[in-house]
Protein backbone atom coordinates (compact mmCIF):
# COMPACT_ATOMS: atom_id res chain seq x y z
CA UNK A 1 0.00 0.00 0.00
CA UNK A 2 3.04 2.17 -0.25
CA UNK A 3 2.61 5.47 1.62
CA UNK A 4 -0.22 4.24 3.81
CA UNK A 5 0.43 2.03 6.82
CA UNK A 6 -2.30 0.13 8.62
CA UNK A 7 -5.58 -1.53 7.79
CA UNK A 8 -8.14 -0.52 10.43
CA UNK A 9 -6.11 2.36 11.82
CA UNK A 10 -3.99 3.85 9.06
CA UNK A 11 -1.54 6.67 8.51
CA UNK A 12 -0.75 8.19 5.12
CA UNK A 13 2.36 10.35 4.77
CA UNK A 14 3.15 12.97 2.16
CA UNK A 15 5.55 15.78 1.40
CA UNK A 16 9.10 16.61 0.46
CA UNK A 17 11.86 18.33 2.37
CA UNK A 18 11.67 21.53 0.33
CA UNK A 19 8.09 21.39 -0.91
CA UNK A 20 5.34 23.61 0.42
CA UNK A 21 4.13 21.36 3.16
CA UNK A 22 4.56 17.96 4.70
CA UNK A 23 1.77 16.16 6.49
CA UNK A 24 -0.07 13.04 7.44
CA UNK A 25 -3.60 11.71 7.39
CA UNK A 26 -4.70 9.53 10.29
CA UNK A 27 -7.69 7.33 9.52
CA UNK A 28 -9.61 4.99 11.79
CA UNK A 29 -8.90 6.89 14.98
CA UNK A 30 -11.73 6.41 17.48
CA UNK A 31 -14.04 9.39 18.02
CA UNK A 32 -13.60 11.35 21.25
CA UNK A 33 -9.84 11.11 21.73
CA UNK A 34 -8.69 14.44 23.23
CA UNK A 35 -6.13 16.47 21.25
CA UNK A 36 -3.41 17.55 23.65
CA UNK A 37 -1.52 20.29 21.84
CA UNK A 38 1.07 20.65 24.61
CA UNK A 39 1.91 16.99 24.21
CA UNK A 40 2.06 17.14 20.41
CA UNK A 41 4.36 20.15 20.62
CA UNK A 42 6.55 18.49 23.22
CA UNK A 43 6.96 15.42 21.01
CA UNK A 44 7.75 17.59 17.97
CA UNK A 45 10.29 19.53 20.00
CA UNK A 46 12.06 16.31 21.05
CA UNK A 47 12.32 15.33 17.37
CA UNK A 48 13.81 18.68 16.32
CA UNK A 49 17.54 19.24 16.21
CA UNK A 50 18.62 21.37 19.15
CA UNK A 51 21.67 22.33 21.20
CA UNK A 52 25.26 21.58 20.43
CA UNK A 53 24.77 17.95 19.51
CA UNK A 54 22.40 18.73 16.66
CA UNK A 55 23.41 21.29 14.16
CA UNK A 56 21.07 20.78 11.23
CA UNK A 57 18.34 23.08 9.98
CA UNK A 58 15.87 24.05 12.72
CA UNK A 59 12.20 24.59 11.99
CA UNK A 60 9.44 25.52 14.40
CA UNK A 61 7.09 22.78 13.03
CA UNK A 62 4.01 25.01 13.18
CA UNK A 63 1.49 22.29 12.58
CA UNK A 64 -2.21 22.70 11.95
CA UNK A 65 -4.86 20.03 12.12
CA UNK A 66 -7.25 20.81 9.27
CA UNK A 67 -9.74 17.97 9.62
CA UNK A 68 -10.97 15.25 11.94
CA UNK A 69 -10.99 17.32 15.13
CA UNK A 70 -13.97 19.19 16.55
CA UNK A 71 -14.29 20.85 19.95
CA UNK A 72 -10.83 19.59 20.90
CA UNK A 73 -11.54 15.93 20.30
CA UNK A 74 -11.20 13.56 17.38
CA UNK A 75 -14.37 13.15 15.36
CA UNK A 76 -13.57 9.66 14.09
CA UNK A 77 -13.19 10.92 10.51
CA UNK A 78 -9.76 11.29 8.90
CA UNK A 79 -7.48 13.67 10.71
CA UNK A 80 -5.08 15.63 8.52
CA UNK A 81 -2.12 17.41 10.04
CA UNK A 82 -0.05 19.85 8.00
CA UNK A 83 3.39 21.30 8.69
CA UNK A 84 4.65 24.02 6.34
CA UNK A 85 8.29 23.94 5.27
CA UNK A 86 9.40 27.38 6.41
CA UNK A 87 13.11 27.01 5.82
CA UNK A 88 12.83 25.57 2.37
CA UNK A 89 15.20 26.70 -0.35
CA UNK A 90 13.58 28.09 -3.46
CA UNK A 91 16.51 27.48 -5.82
CA UNK A 92 16.53 24.54 -8.14
CA UNK A 93 19.49 22.24 -8.46
CA UNK A 94 21.71 21.92 -11.48
CA UNK A 95 21.24 19.13 -13.96
CA UNK A 96 24.75 19.34 -15.38
CA UNK A 97 25.90 16.74 -12.93
CA UNK A 98 24.27 14.51 -10.38
CA UNK A 99 26.45 13.07 -7.65
CA UNK A 100 24.38 10.78 -5.42
CA UNK A 101 25.52 11.08 -1.82
CA UNK A 102 26.75 7.77 -0.37
CA UNK A 103 24.44 6.33 2.29
CA UNK A 104 21.53 8.50 1.07
CA UNK A 105 18.58 7.63 -1.15
CA UNK A 106 19.73 9.87 -4.02
CA UNK A 107 20.63 6.93 -6.25
CA UNK A 108 17.64 4.77 -5.43
CA UNK A 109 15.21 7.68 -5.75
CA UNK A 110 16.62 8.31 -9.20
CA UNK A 111 16.27 4.63 -10.14
CA UNK A 112 12.69 4.58 -8.97
CA UNK A 113 11.43 7.96 -10.16
CA UNK A 114 13.47 8.34 -13.37
CA UNK A 115 14.69 11.82 -12.51
CA UNK A 116 11.25 13.31 -11.88
CA UNK A 117 11.79 13.22 -8.11
CA UNK A 118 12.25 16.41 -6.09
CA UNK A 119 15.79 15.84 -4.97
CA UNK A 120 16.22 18.97 -2.86
CA UNK A 121 17.14 18.13 0.74
CA UNK A 122 16.38 14.46 0.23
CA UNK A 123 12.87 15.16 -1.04
CA UNK A 124 10.29 12.63 0.06
CA UNK A 125 13.05 10.52 1.66
CA UNK A 126 13.96 13.26 4.09
CA UNK A 127 13.93 12.54 7.80
CA UNK A 128 11.86 15.71 7.98
CA UNK A 129 8.81 13.60 7.12
CA UNK A 130 9.07 12.07 10.56
CA UNK A 131 7.68 15.36 11.93
CA UNK A 132 4.06 14.68 10.86
CA UNK A 133 4.60 11.05 11.87
CA UNK A 134 5.48 12.22 15.37
CA UNK A 135 2.47 14.55 15.42
CA UNK A 136 -0.06 11.83 14.58
CA UNK A 137 1.93 9.43 16.74
CA UNK A 138 1.27 11.72 19.70
CA UNK A 139 -2.45 11.26 19.09
CA UNK A 140 -2.02 7.48 18.91
CA UNK A 141 0.00 7.58 22.15
CA UNK A 142 -2.80 9.57 23.80
CA UNK A 143 -5.38 7.06 22.63
CA UNK A 144 -3.31 4.15 23.98
CA UNK A 145 -2.90 5.87 27.37
CA UNK A 146 -6.70 5.98 27.69
CA UNK A 147 -6.53 2.18 27.76
CA UNK A 148 -3.57 2.07 30.15
CA UNK A 149 -0.98 1.33 27.48
CA UNK A 150 2.25 3.35 27.78
CA UNK A 151 5.22 3.51 25.43
CA UNK A 152 8.74 4.81 25.98
CA UNK A 153 12.16 4.62 24.36
CA UNK A 154 15.71 5.11 25.53
CA UNK A 155 19.05 5.17 23.75
CA UNK A 156 20.33 1.70 24.58
CA UNK A 157 23.69 2.38 22.92
CA UNK A 158 25.25 5.30 21.12
CA UNK A 159 28.72 5.44 19.61
CA UNK A 160 29.41 2.14 21.40
CA UNK A 161 28.45 3.51 24.84
CA UNK A 162 25.74 1.42 26.55
CA UNK A 163 22.88 2.65 28.71
CA UNK A 164 21.64 0.41 31.52
CA UNK A 165 18.75 -1.98 30.81
CA UNK A 166 15.14 -1.25 31.73
CA UNK A 167 14.67 -2.20 35.40
CA UNK A 168 11.22 -1.15 36.54
CA UNK A 169 9.50 -0.45 33.27
CA UNK A 170 6.75 1.82 34.61
CA UNK A 171 9.23 3.94 36.60
CA UNK A 172 11.74 4.02 33.78
CA UNK A 173 9.10 5.14 31.28
CA UNK A 174 8.03 7.93 33.65
CA UNK A 175 11.68 8.97 33.95
CA UNK A 176 12.14 9.01 30.16
CA UNK A 177 9.02 11.08 29.78
CA UNK A 178 10.72 13.89 31.65
CA UNK A 179 14.07 13.68 29.88
CA UNK A 180 15.09 15.31 26.64
CA UNK A 181 18.12 13.10 26.10
CA UNK A 182 16.55 9.71 26.67
CA UNK A 183 19.19 7.82 28.61
CA UNK A 184 18.48 6.07 31.94
CA UNK A 185 22.02 6.20 33.32
CA UNK A 186 23.14 9.86 33.72
CA UNK A 187 26.82 8.93 33.34
CA UNK A 188 26.14 7.15 30.07
CA UNK A 189 24.23 10.22 28.88
CA UNK A 190 27.25 12.45 29.48
CA UNK A 191 29.56 10.05 27.67
CA UNK A 192 27.22 9.73 24.70
CA UNK A 193 26.91 13.49 24.29
CA UNK A 194 30.69 13.81 24.37
CA UNK A 195 31.01 11.13 21.70
CA UNK A 196 28.49 12.94 19.51
CA UNK A 197 30.36 16.21 19.98
CA UNK A 198 33.61 14.49 19.09
CA UNK A 199 32.08 13.04 15.92
CA UNK A 200 30.75 16.49 15.00
CA UNK A 201 34.16 18.06 15.60
CA UNK A 202 35.78 15.60 13.19
CA UNK A 203 33.07 16.10 10.53
CA UNK A 204 31.82 12.58 11.10
CA UNK A 205 28.73 10.99 12.63
CA UNK A 206 27.67 8.21 14.98
CA UNK A 207 24.72 5.82 15.27
CA UNK A 208 23.01 3.93 18.03
CA UNK A 209 20.43 1.48 19.24
CA UNK A 210 17.01 2.53 20.53
CA UNK A 211 15.12 0.31 22.95
CA UNK A 212 11.36 0.73 23.27
CA UNK A 213 9.21 -0.67 26.04
CA UNK A 214 5.40 -1.00 25.90
CA UNK A 215 3.56 -1.55 29.19
CA UNK A 216 -0.07 -2.58 29.56
CA UNK A 217 -0.68 -4.19 26.19
CA UNK A 218 -3.34 -6.88 26.68
CA UNK A 219 -2.47 -10.50 25.86
CA UNK A 220 -3.96 -12.02 22.72
CA UNK A 221 -3.14 -9.25 20.23
CA UNK A 222 -1.47 -10.14 16.92
CA UNK A 223 -1.79 -12.93 14.40
CA UNK A 224 0.20 -16.15 13.97
CA UNK A 225 0.58 -15.72 10.16
CA UNK A 226 1.42 -13.14 8.80
CA UNK A 227 0.49 -10.22 10.99
CA UNK A 228 2.45 -11.16 14.06
CA UNK A 229 3.15 -8.33 16.50
CA UNK A 230 6.78 -8.56 15.40
CA UNK A 231 5.78 -8.42 11.70
CA UNK A 232 3.53 -5.39 12.05
CA UNK A 233 5.88 -3.47 14.34
CA UNK A 234 8.96 -4.20 12.24
CA UNK A 235 7.11 -3.22 9.06
CA UNK A 236 6.41 0.16 10.60
CA UNK A 237 9.80 0.58 12.30
CA UNK A 238 11.83 -0.22 9.17
CA UNK A 239 10.05 2.71 7.54
CA UNK A 240 12.00 5.06 9.78
CA UNK A 241 14.94 6.30 7.74
CA UNK A 242 18.32 4.87 8.86
CA UNK A 243 16.91 1.83 10.66
CA UNK A 244 18.84 -1.31 9.60
CA UNK A 245 17.77 -3.79 12.29
CA UNK A 246 14.80 -4.63 14.52
CA UNK A 247 14.79 -7.18 17.32
CA UNK A 248 12.47 -8.21 20.13
CA UNK A 249 13.29 -9.37 23.68
CA UNK A 250 16.74 -10.90 23.72
CA UNK A 251 16.83 -10.45 19.93
CA UNK A 252 19.96 -11.65 18.18
CA UNK A 253 21.54 -12.66 21.49
CA UNK A 254 18.83 -15.30 21.99
CA UNK A 255 20.59 -17.29 19.26
CA UNK A 256 23.48 -18.01 21.60
CA UNK A 257 21.25 -19.19 24.47
CA UNK A 258 20.09 -22.74 25.02
CA UNK A 259 16.35 -23.41 24.99
CA UNK A 260 16.17 -23.90 28.73
CA UNK A 261 17.56 -20.39 29.18
CA UNK A 262 15.64 -18.68 26.37
CA UNK A 263 12.22 -19.88 27.54
CA UNK A 264 10.49 -17.46 29.91
CA UNK A 265 9.20 -19.40 32.93
CA UNK A 266 5.69 -18.59 34.15
CA UNK A 267 4.23 -18.24 37.64
CA UNK A 268 0.64 -17.84 38.77
CA UNK A 269 0.27 -14.43 40.35
CA UNK A 270 -2.84 -12.58 41.49
CA UNK A 271 -5.17 -14.45 39.18
CA UNK A 272 -2.98 -14.17 36.12
CA UNK A 273 0.30 -15.21 34.59
CA UNK A 274 3.61 -13.56 35.48
CA UNK A 275 6.82 -14.24 33.56
CA UNK A 276 10.13 -14.65 35.37
CA UNK A 277 12.10 -13.29 32.41
CA UNK A 278 11.37 -11.62 29.08
CA UNK A 279 13.69 -13.09 26.48
CA UNK A 280 10.77 -13.26 24.05
CA UNK A 281 9.99 -9.56 24.40
CA UNK A 282 6.35 -10.02 25.39
CA UNK A 283 5.47 -11.95 22.23
CA UNK A 284 5.03 -15.71 21.67
CA UNK A 285 3.77 -17.17 18.43
CA UNK A 286 3.42 -13.62 17.11
CA UNK A 287 0.86 -12.75 19.81
CA UNK A 288 1.24 -10.54 22.86
CA UNK A 289 1.66 -12.39 26.16
CA UNK A 290 0.66 -9.53 28.46
CA UNK A 291 4.30 -9.07 29.43
CA UNK A 292 6.05 -5.80 28.46
CA UNK A 293 6.98 -5.51 24.81
CA UNK A 294 10.72 -4.97 24.37
CA UNK A 295 11.83 -3.71 20.95
CA UNK A 296 15.24 -2.55 19.76
CA UNK A 297 16.07 -0.82 16.50
CA UNK A 298 19.47 -0.15 14.95
CA UNK A 299 19.89 3.46 13.77
CA UNK A 300 22.81 3.94 11.43
CA UNK A 301 25.13 6.94 11.69
CA UNK A 302 23.94 9.97 9.73
CA UNK A 303 25.17 9.51 6.17
CA UNK A 304 25.96 13.23 5.82
CA UNK A 305 29.63 13.49 6.75
CA UNK A 306 32.19 16.12 5.79
CA UNK A 307 35.01 13.82 4.75
CA UNK A 308 35.62 13.42 1.03
CA UNK A 309 33.63 10.50 -0.39
CA UNK A 310 33.81 8.44 -3.55
CA UNK A 311 30.69 8.47 -5.69
CA UNK A 312 29.66 8.67 -9.33
CA UNK A 313 28.30 11.38 -11.58
CA UNK A 314 25.12 9.90 -13.01
CA UNK A 315 24.75 12.66 -15.60
CA UNK A 316 28.24 12.29 -16.97
CA UNK A 317 28.56 8.57 -16.34
CA UNK A 318 31.92 8.69 -14.58
CA UNK A 319 33.57 8.55 -11.19
CA UNK A 320 33.44 11.58 -8.93
CA UNK A 321 34.37 12.70 -5.44
CA UNK A 322 32.00 14.54 -3.17
CA UNK A 323 32.55 16.81 -0.20
CA UNK A 324 29.41 17.95 1.61
CA UNK A 325 29.03 21.41 3.11
CA UNK A 326 26.52 23.15 5.30
CA UNK A 327 25.05 21.97 8.57
CA UNK A 328 24.32 18.33 9.29
CA UNK A 329 23.40 16.24 12.31
CA UNK A 330 26.34 14.28 13.78
CA UNK A 331 23.73 11.85 15.18
CA UNK A 332 20.00 11.33 14.87
CA UNK A 333 19.51 8.48 17.32
CA UNK A 334 18.49 10.85 20.15
CA UNK A 335 15.97 12.55 17.88
CA UNK A 336 14.65 9.29 16.46
CA UNK A 337 13.55 8.28 19.95
CA UNK A 338 10.13 9.97 19.64
CA UNK A 339 9.81 8.60 16.12
CA UNK A 340 10.21 5.09 17.55
CA UNK A 341 7.54 5.82 20.16
CA UNK A 342 5.22 7.23 17.52
CA UNK A 343 5.59 4.48 14.97
CA UNK A 344 5.21 1.82 17.67
CA UNK A 345 2.01 3.48 18.88
CA UNK A 346 0.56 3.75 15.37
CA UNK A 347 1.23 0.08 14.67
CA UNK A 348 -0.22 -1.03 18.00
CA UNK A 349 -3.39 0.98 17.38
CA UNK A 350 -3.87 -0.92 14.13
CA UNK A 351 -3.36 -4.31 15.82
CA UNK A 352 -5.75 -3.35 18.62
CA UNK A 353 -8.38 -2.07 16.18
CA UNK A 354 -8.27 -5.37 14.30
CA UNK A 355 -8.97 -7.32 17.46
CA UNK A 356 -11.25 -4.98 19.41
CA UNK A 357 -12.72 -2.78 16.66
CA UNK A 358 -12.03 0.82 15.75
CA UNK A 359 -14.09 2.18 18.64
CA UNK A 360 -12.10 0.49 21.39
CA UNK A 361 -9.51 3.23 21.75
CA UNK A 362 -12.19 5.68 22.82
CA UNK A 363 -11.34 4.35 26.26
CA UNK A 364 -13.46 2.41 28.70
CA UNK A 365 -16.98 3.88 28.82
Contacting its own copies within 222-251 (CB under 8 A): 222-228, 230-232, 234-236, 238-239, 241, 243-251
Site string for its own copies, 37-76 (x = CB under 8 A): ---------------------------x-xxx-xx-xxxx
Site string for its own copies, 343-362 (x = CB under 8 A): ----------xxxxxxxx-x
| Minimal distance, residue 178 CB to its own copies, in Å | 26
Out of 55, 77, 170, 315, the only residue in the binding site for its own copies (CB under 8 A) is 77
| Minimal distance, residue 255 CB to its own copies, in Å | 4
| C-alpha dist (Å) from residue 113 to 76, 108, 123, 330, 363 | 35, 8, 12, 29, 43
d(CA 130, CA 127): 6
Site string for its own copies, 261-300 (x = CB under 8 A): xxxxxxxx--x-x--x--xxx-xxxxxxxx-----x-xxx
Q: Which is nearer to its own copies, 104 or 193 (CB)?
A: 104
Listed residue (318, 342, 326) closest to 98, CA to CA: 318
| Minimal distance, residue 260 CB to its own copies, in Å | 5
- Contacts (CB under 8 A) with its own copies, residues 94-153: 100, 102-105, 107-109, 111-114, 116-118, 123-125, 129
For CA atoms 39, 230, 126, 190, the dihedral sign is positive
For CA atoms 281, 284, 288, 291, the dihedral sign is negative
Quick one: residue 173, left, alpha or beta (phi over 0 = left, psi -120 to 50 = alpha)? alpha
Listed residue (169, 184, 257) closest to 216, CA to CA: 169
d(CA 147, CA 141): 10
Site string for its own copies, 293-332 (x = CB under 8 A): ---x-xxxxxxxx-x-xxxxxx--xxx-------------
Amino acid sequence: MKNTFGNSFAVTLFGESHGDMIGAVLDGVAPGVPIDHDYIEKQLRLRRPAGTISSARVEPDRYTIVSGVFNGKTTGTPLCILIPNENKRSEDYTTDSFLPRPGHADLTGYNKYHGYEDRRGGGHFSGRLTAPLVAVGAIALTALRQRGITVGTHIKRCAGIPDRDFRNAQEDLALLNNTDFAVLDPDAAIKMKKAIDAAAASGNSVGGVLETCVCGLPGGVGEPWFDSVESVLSHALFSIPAVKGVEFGAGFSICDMQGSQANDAMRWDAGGVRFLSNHNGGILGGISTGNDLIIRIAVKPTPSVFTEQETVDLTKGQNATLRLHGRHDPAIVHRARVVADSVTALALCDLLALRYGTDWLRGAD
